Amino acid sequence: MSPTIERDIPADELDDVRSGRLPARYDHRLQDVFLEQVDRRMRPGVRILDIGSGRAPTIPPHDRPAACRYVGTDIDADELAAAPPGSYDLELAADATRPLPVDERFDLILSWQVLEHVESMADTLNAFRGALDEGGTLIAQLSGSRAAFALLARALPHRLRVLAMTRLLGHVEEEKFPTRYDACTDKDLRGLLVGWSEVEIIPFYRGGSYFLFSDPVLKAYLAYENRVAARDLRGLATHYLVVATR
Ligand SMILES: C[S@@+](CC[C@H](N)C(=O)[O-])C[C@H]1O[C@@H](n2cnc3c(N)ncnc32)[C@H](O)[C@@H]1O
């Protein structure tokens, strides 16, 4: 998935939508849906914790409101160190499954394509809750456990998965991290978010980009995904956007 979310960039899949290779639901970026949620909560002085942001803060410095405090965390200190200078007001090498190692609270927690990597979703959401101020909001984008690409990833050893993604899809090796897919479904997430004051989980059916390497494979995959999308079978969604207020 893409790193720092810049605005006004067309979806990678747009040409394939125009040529009819992909259906219309691929015509916009998932990043823009995420940004819509972020924008509603941006205001001067907002305190943001970006979880698993590593080398690419989710919101670039030039897109943050005045006096925004922006803290970046990642389990891997080298990833944080690789971020462009000025990306963060504070960098914390910390495991998202554990309580935040500083006594600071936030208005917003952002997490872009990180939750499928954590060992325990329950521990992670508890830690997030502890780091949010009363009324603060978590906005997290993650991949679904039952997406076809996730099932393949779970069946393959990590090294083989990386090899397949770099060779077949041209993904960058350094941007591939081991996935766990713990509780990455609509139902499991809702169960773990009981007790939060407001919860919205938006499902997406957007796994086609993993199968663009072959027209017959893509066609077979889309025959399946189109049915899942038409029936809005949320348990089989490829991605979820979680918006949860403490
Ligand atoms: C797919 S990358 C996403 C990075 C960034 N958000 C982006 O879009 O470029 C996943 C990131 O999550 C971090 N990560 C994995 N497990 C983590 C954990 N338990 N706690 C914090 N960060 C974690 C990885 O080190 C990596 O930087």
**8-65: pLDDT as tens digits:** 999 999 999 999 999 999 999 999 999 999 999 999 999 999 999 999 999 999 999 9
Tally the C-alpha atoms within 13 A of residue 195's C-alpha that lie toward its C-beta: 9
Which ligand 1 atom sits closest to the C-alpha of 124? 19
Ligand 1 pocket residue status of 76, Cβ below 6 Å: yes
Q: Please, what is the average pLDDT of the chain?
A: 95
Angle CA 67–70–76, to nearest 5:
165
Ligand 1 pocket residue status of 114, Cβ below 6 Å: yes
216 CA distance to ligand 1 middle (Å): 33
pLDDT on residue 1: 41
Task: List the one residue out of 79, 129, 82 whose CA is nearest residue 106.
Answer: 129
55 CA distance to ligand 1 middle (Å): 9
As a whole number of angstroms, the distance between CA 230 and CA 221 comes to: 14
Ligand 1 pocket residue status of 14, Cβ below 6 Å: no
38 CA distance to ligand 1 middle (Å): 19
Tally the C-alpha atoms within 13 A of residue 93's C-alpha that lie toward its C-beta: 8
Taking only the tens place, the pLDDT of each residue in 106-162 is 999 999 999 999 999 999 999 999 999 999 999 999 999 999 999 988 888 878 888
Q: Which two tokens stand for residue 4?
A: 């720092």
Contact in structure between 179 and 117 (CB atoms under 8 Å):
yes
> Which residue out of 92, 114, 141 has the highest number of ligand 1 atoms within 8 Å of its CB and is therefore the one to mutate?
114
Contact in structure between 145 and 181 (CB atoms under 8 Å):
yes
Contact in structure between 121 and 180 (CB atoms under 8 Å):
no
Residue corresponding to tokens 């919860």? 199
As a whole number of angstroms, the distance between CA 50 and CA 48 comes to: 6
Number of other residues whose CB lies within 10 A of the CB of residue 237: 27
pLDDT above 90: residue 169: no
Domains in the chain, start-ordered, CATH in brackets? 14-245 (3.40.50.150)
Ligand 1 pocket residue status of 177, Cβ below 6 Å: yes
Structural element, H or E, at residue 210: none
As a whole number of angstroms, the distance between CA 139 and CA 183 comes to: 17
Residue corresponding to tokens 């770099």? 166
Q: Which two tokens stand for residue 246?
A: 């403490």
Q: Give percent of the chain above pLDDT 90.
A: 88
pLDDT on residue 176: 75
